[in-house]
Amino acid sequence: MEPSATVLHTRVGPAREGESFTTRNGIHTTVLPKCDTNDGFWYCVAHKEAFRNQLEKDIHIHRGRHRLAWFCHTHGAEVP
Ligand SMILES: [Zn+2]
Ligand SMILES: [Zn+2]
């Protein structure tokens, strides 16, 4: 039985510079420092999920534990 009092264990942390991970497409990538451009999308390292916009990202991180990276169109994964 589910307990009626819902306790949300939400925890969202940023990806760290220099850490590497493999995307769902099997691409091995290393997290770079954030650059000056704003052209890219949010990516959850923990669940290998990319988000098309802020809203999708916010819904995804609403509950649970996540690690977010910024996926720059020019350079790849960056610190958010
Ligand atoms: Zn996630
Ligand atoms: Zn970049």
Per-residue pLDDT tens for 24-68? 889 899 999 999 999 999 999 999 999 999 999 999 999 999 999
The SS3 call for residue 15 is coil
pTM for this entry: 0.83
Residue 37 lies in domain: 33-80
Residue 20 is assigned to a structural domain of this protein: no
Q: How many domains does one find in the chain?
A: 1
**Predicted confidence (pLDDT) at residue 4 exceeds the cutoff of 50:** no
Burial (CB count <10 Å: 0-12, 13-18, 19+), residue 9: exposed
Residues with CB under 5 A from ligand 2 (ion): 35, 72, 74-75
Residue 68 is assigned to a structural domain of this protein: yes
Neighbouring CB atoms inside 10 A of 46's CB total 16
H helices present in 1-80, as ranges: 54-60
Residue 70 is assigned to a structural domain of this protein: yes
Residue 6 is assigned to a structural domain of this protein: no
Q: Ligand 2 centroid vs 30 CA: distance in angstroms?
A: 12
| Closest-approaching ligand to the CA atom of 46 | 1
